[in-house]
Structure 1
Amino acid sequence: MISFRRFAFITAGLAVAGMLSSCTSERATEPDAGIPPVPGPTFASLAEAREAVAAVVGCESEPTARPIVNPDLAGFTAEYAVCGNRVQIEWFKSSDARADAAQVYMDTSQPVAIVEGENWIVADLSLALEENWSGKDLDKVAQEIGGMYTVLNGFKQS
């Protein structure tokens, strides 16, 4: 169980990273720049994305935790679900919104592993929350359902 203080710190850190990355995100979406395509399927809903992830790494049928990142505070336009206490699935209505959220993860100094597809992200925030690794193999998610797997800031599976 994460403390409120640690949760607030992580959420605030991601929100600050989002604010700091806003200039970068705007440049990336200029007509000449375009958004680089991300491999993987497009999901029609958050439920469909969570179902696909659960088929690979197993998730509880009923989530036991609330989303880790507060969508309103972080400024994301996403829907969120959890898979385990420390893995979050994010579904976006557009690839632009997904790209903005991915940039926030790229800009953070916290150890995070992510898999991103056209309109979704799966993020393991275990080490960012200073807890043990979740045990969810996100590399396997990327291999089996598609997507781009990225390890950020020293995230290590043990």
Structure 2
Amino acid sequence: MLQDETNNPTFAFIDSDWFDSDEEEEDPICKTFRPLISLEEGIKAHNEKKYEIAWECFKNQSEIDNPKAKYWKAHYLYNEINVSKDVDEAIKLYKEAADEDVTEASFQYAMCILHHHGNNFNRQDYERYLRKAADRKHINAQFHLAEFYIHGNFGIEKNLEEGT
């Protein structure tokens, strides 16, 4: 990975027109450098409703396997924020981020299992990802997990001790 003079990571974007051109250029390989927007700056842009900037950040950061950026990219795709809705890609990214221990992604992936898997509902996966988030003090995950056990949902035997 490249870094600029302040040690911020950067991307080098190659000008594909150069390969088709007969003209000589001073620096044909790395025509322009654009700094990679930090995840913190992307979240700040999101909070300021600068969704285009935030999307570019989350998209680029997820391409370098930043798990939290994968969560945010999934959030944008699932909720159709500044991009076309793509539930399948969002679910895939939520799972990848959840498997990298992003708490909110674990909860969102569990909700996707519940709401989008239809006849392929996997109770064990739902419980596993919900518990993963609940164990990290995610309040909504704790509530759903308690409901899961208290009411004996999805064919599981009621377990009041586990549900409280």
- Using the size of structure 1 for normalisation, the TM-score is 0.24
RCO greater where, 1 or 2, for CA within 8 Å and sep 6 or more? 1
TM-score by length of 2: 0.23
Q: Which has the larger radius of gyration?
A: 2
Q: Identify, as 1 or 2, the structure richer in strand.
A: 1
Q: Point out the structure with the larger helix share.
A: 2
